[in-house]
């Protein structure tokens, strides 16, 4: 009798405990502008141009389509980082109100500000191909005015690769990317074939593209986000191995001069410099500082 009573008391205690709330995946989104649906020229990405306003609207619409797909797939929290230029492009009150927005610059991790190890997945929206890519809209690597190429550990990387490695530093996989067709191909080549790559336009040249019908583009973005989140377990983080060797090739020789003010930076050619770092994030921050110095020339 005592044993039976003891069991009943234990069961009652467990029943009285509050239920553990199950939450869905937490997702980080970095949003650039050149790969947004409708954008084919630099005028559309510059606040100085009257074409900028409509492009800002397309930008938030692309992001909202991705957010809708993520919430339908069970996401519980979404953080969006504005990653283009001044990083004040996304129309804040146009963004899905359930998502948080990181806006403005400077910020330590720039295009990836806000990411950390608490996220389950990362998505890159509106990205572009690396400098020197044919038939890609507004191809460049971080700074069109300064950079010809960036290599890390001997591998030339576009922004999607550098930022994918930042996500990988925190063990977060990049599960989806959107942009033009060439950018999508680079994403699969660098980040892995399992990534969901959504091409919203096909580049004809640097300043011309064949756009998907608007409704079709937004549907693909929504469906792609839903698919990516549901298959995230199959996608591994993109990680580089230390020590990290950074090789920067500038557009001209004068741009390699001011970076030499940093003691650990060595000149490796008329227009190129190199340095190494034991920590990837420290290396990325120094790289961005060197690009800023080069851009001042």
pLDDT tens by residue, 174-230 = 999 999 999 999 999 999 999 999 999 999 999 999 999 999 999 999 999 999 999
Do 280 and 221 fall within a single domain? Answer: no
Q: Which of 189, 204, 234 is the last residue of a domain?
A: 234
Q: Are residues 201 and 54 in the same domain?
A: yes
Query: How many whole angstroms separate alpha carbon 248 and alpha carbon 261?
Result: 15
Identify the pLDDT of residue 9. 40
Task: Cite the DSSP H helix spans in the chain.
Answer: 2-16, 52-72, 159-169, 181-191, 214-230, 280-295
What's the confidence (pLDDT) of residue 297?
Answer: 82
Positions of the chain with pLDDT lower than 50, given as ranges: 1-2, 5, 7-21
Instruction: Please say whether the beta carbons of 256 and 250 come within 8 A.
Output: yes
The HSE-up count of residue 29 (CA atoms within 13 Å, CB side) is 37
Domain hosting 85: range is 26-142+157-234
CA distance 171 to 190: 16
Enzyme catalytic residues:
140
User: Among 234, 257, 287, which residue terminates a domain?
Assistant: 234
**Do 201 and 129 fall into the same domain?**
yes
Rounded-to-integer distance, Cα 240 and Cα 223, Å: 30
At residue 49, the pLDDT reads 98
Q: Are strands 244-250 and 272-277 parallel, antiparallel or unpaired?
A: antiparallel
- Read off the CATH number of the domain in which 282 is found: 3.30.1360.130
- Give a yes or no: residue 249 inside a domain: yes
User: Are 168 and 115 within one domain?
Assistant: yes
**For residue 83, is it within any domain?**
yes
Measure the CA–CA gap between 9 and 249, rounded to whole angstroms.
Answer: 72
User: What is the reported pLDDT for 255?
Assistant: 98
């Amino acid at each position: 009798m005592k044993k039976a009573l003891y069991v009943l008391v234990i069961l009652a205690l467990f029943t009285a405990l509050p239920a553990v709330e199950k939450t869905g995946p937490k997702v980080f989104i970095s949003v650039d502008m050149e790969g947004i649906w409708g954008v084919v020229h630099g005028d559309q990405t510059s606040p100085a141009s009257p074409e900028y306003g409509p492009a800002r609207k397309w930008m938030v619409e692309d992001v909202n389509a991705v957010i809708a797909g993520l919430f339908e797939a069970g996401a519980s929290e979404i953080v969006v980082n504005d990653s283009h230029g001044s990083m004040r492009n996304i129309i804040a009150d146009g963004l899905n109100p359930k998502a948080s927005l990181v806006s403005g610059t400077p910020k330590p991790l720039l295009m990836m500000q806000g990411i950390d190890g608490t996220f389950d997945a990362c998505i890159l929206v509106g990205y572009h191909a690396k400098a020197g890519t044919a038939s890609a809209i507004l191809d460049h690597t971080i700074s069109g005015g300064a950079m010809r190429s960036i290599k890390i550990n001997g591998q030339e990387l576009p922004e999607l690769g550098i930022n994918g490695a930042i996500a990988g530093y925190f063990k977060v996989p990049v599960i989806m990317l959107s942009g033009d067709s060439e950018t999508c191909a680079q994403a699969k080549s660098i980040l892995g074939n399992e990534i969901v790559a959504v091409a919203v336009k096909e580049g004809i040249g640097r300043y011309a593209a064949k756009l998907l019908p608007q409704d079709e583009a937004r549907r693909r973005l929504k469906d792609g986000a839903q698919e990516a989140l549901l298959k995230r377990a199959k996608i591994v983080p993109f990680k580089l191995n230390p020590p990290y060797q950074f090789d920067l090739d500038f557009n001209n020789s004068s741009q390699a001069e001011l970076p030499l003010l940093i003691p650990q930076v060595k000149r490796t050619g008329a227009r190129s410099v190199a340095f190494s770092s034991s920590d990837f994030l420290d290396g990325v921050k120094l790289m961005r500082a060197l690009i800023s110095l080069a851009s001042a020339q």
